[in-house]
Amino acid sequence: MKSKFFPGIVAFGVVLPLLLLLVLAFVILAQNRRVEKTFVEREGNFKRYQMEERQVKMLQTELETYRAHQEEWKLSLEEATIPTVSGLIERIANTYDEEELTKTKFNFIGRETGIASASSQPSVSFDLGYQGTFSAIQKSLLQLETEIPHLLLNKMKIQPDVSKGNLNVDLSYSLWSN
């Protein structure tokens, strides 16, 4: 016995709830996929962030070694003038006897030359000449460039002095200034 309400009961009691459940399941699946996609994207961003954070920490620890010298370097830039360089060159030359090392020239050019002329960093240039043994010249230039690290070698000319068994070295430097 079928009642006249049977089609309405089936339509509103079974079919409509099933359709609503299917629509709800479809919406939940679509949202789940969107949430998973967002999760994967954000997880990748987080991993990149962690990696970059580690790199930043490594760079900061590396920079800490330089920060200790930063004030010293600033003072060096402020103090490095031609009289300072001239005094250092004299002091270096005086540590050797004349047979080992002799300063043959020191000319202040007063303008930028070489690579320094193409830079916007202020600098002055000077020519320096030594006559002496290879070892003495090498040690004196090492001391000069160690004590004034912002010297830039523009030109170097080395010639043997056969009569004395020494070398003649002509150098052109640019001195960066602040």
Q: Report the distance separating Cα 52 and Cα 37, nearest Å.
A: 23
Considering the entire predicted model, what is its pTM?
0.54
**pLDDT for res 108:** 81
Q: Report the distance separating Cα 114 and Cα 172, nearest Å.
A: 9
Identify the three-state secondary structure at position 129: strand
Span 6-32, mean pLDDT? 88
CB distance 153 to 56 below 8 Å: no
Residue 58 has pLDDT above 90, yes or no: yes
- Convert the pLDDT of each residue in 74-118 to its tens digit: 766 666 566 778 888 889 888 999 888 989 998 887 655 555 555
CB distance 120 to 140 below 8 Å: no
**pLDDT for res 8:** 77
CB distance 125 to 112 below 8 Å: yes
More confident residue, 118 or 31: 31
